[in-house]
Copies of this chain bind each other. A is one copy, B any other.
């Protein structure tokens, strides 16, 4: 199995190395990742400047590519540009911090897996849902191996990807695995307004802890209960339930 590893925390992030080290046991791992942290970059791609991919050496002595592009760019560079070998699986992570609920669309980690799916390659994103500076990636890295083997056996449905979140606890304290749906989770938007030394205003974007909607069966609830959450995600954002409601407004009668 030829596995591409990328992330949005940057090529030298600890979570990437933990993931690569475990995946090395089951396949040929190729690494292309951003040359700097690109958190919260969403599904952005680089259209208006050239992309670079420079060879670097990871802490374990292995070769990797660092790119000036976004996580999604890294996936495209790897699959269409850099390697001769066909990529069988894209694994994005291990992200430092949760990617749950409505936060998904902001996530560079999840967007990289989306890009893999768009290019027709089986893909998943994996995150440890902790916000402390020091995180234990052991359980997540091991689960990534198990999941990679399952995907290799069963094949993902077309244009679907998986979004995995692992509770920030020791492997022995994880209660199990749940296949979930995406919950609601929103950072309570907050702006911190300040004035610079020249008297001009500026703002810091921030937020309180998210208002988690702990509905049964959601990713948010599973992680809160100590389970690894696996959510099948697709690229269809249609709000099916609203189609008839909007039609009933008479939108189609506007002329």
CB under 8 Å from chain B, chain A span 28-64: 37, 39-48, 50-53
Number of copies: 2
Given A202-B51, A232-B243, A245-B157, are A251 and B43 neighbors across the interface (CB < 8 Å)? no
Bound together, the chains give a CA A106 to CA B231 distance in angstroms of 21
Given that A44-B42, A51-B202, A254-B143 are known contacts, is A179 also in contact with B243, CB under 8 Å in the complex? Answer: yes
Give residues 143-194 of A contacting B (CB, 8 Å): 143, 146-147, 150, 153-154, 156-157, 159-160, 162, 176-179, 181-182, 184, 186, 189-191, 193-194
Whether A251 lies near B44 (C-beta < 8 A) is no
Partner of A205, one of B39, B46, B235: B46
**Contact A239–B249 (Cβ < 8 Å):** no
Give chain B residues whose Cβ lies under 8 Å from the Cβ of A105.
42-43, 105, 111, 114, 235, 237
List B contacts of A160 (CB < 8 A). 239, 242
On whether the beta carbons of B236 and A232 are closer than 8 Å, the reply is no
Please report whether the interface of chain A is mostly helix, strand, loop or mixed according to DSSP.
Answer: mixed
Binds B, one of A11-19, A76-84, A87-95, A128-136: A76-84
Q: Which of B47, B146, B250 contacts A40 (CB 8 A)?
A: B47
A33 to chain B, nearest CB (A): 16
| A79 contacts across to B, CB distance below 8 A | 189
- What interface size band does chain A fall in? 35 or more
Verify A251–B150 contact, CB threshold 8 A: yes
B254 near A52 (CB under 8 angstroms)?
no
A25: CB under 8 A from chain B?
Answer: no
Contact A181 to B251, CB < 8 A, known contacts A105-B43, A157-B245, A193-B81: no
Q: List the B side residues contacting A190 at CB < 8 Å.
A: 80
Q: How far is the CA of A42 from the CA of B118 in the complex (A)?
A: 15
Task: With CB as the reference atom, state the residue of chain B lying closest to A179.
Answer: B247
B240 touches A181 (CB 8 A): yes
Determine whether A73 belongs to the interface, using a CB cutoff of 8 Å to chain B: yes
The reply to whether the CB of A208 lies closer than 8 angstroms to some CB of chain B is no
Say yes or no: A157-B239 contact (C-beta < 8 A), given A41-B44, A102-B118: yes
Which B residue sits closest to A186, measured CB to CB?
B118
Residues of chain A whose beta carbon lies under 8 Å from any beta carbon of chain B: 37, 39-48, 50-53, 69, 72-73, 76-77, 79-81, 102, 104-106, 111, 114, 118-119, 143, 146-147, 150, 153-154, 156-157, 159-160, 162, 176-179, 181-182, 184, 186, 189-191, 193-194, 200-205, 230-243, 245-247, 249-255
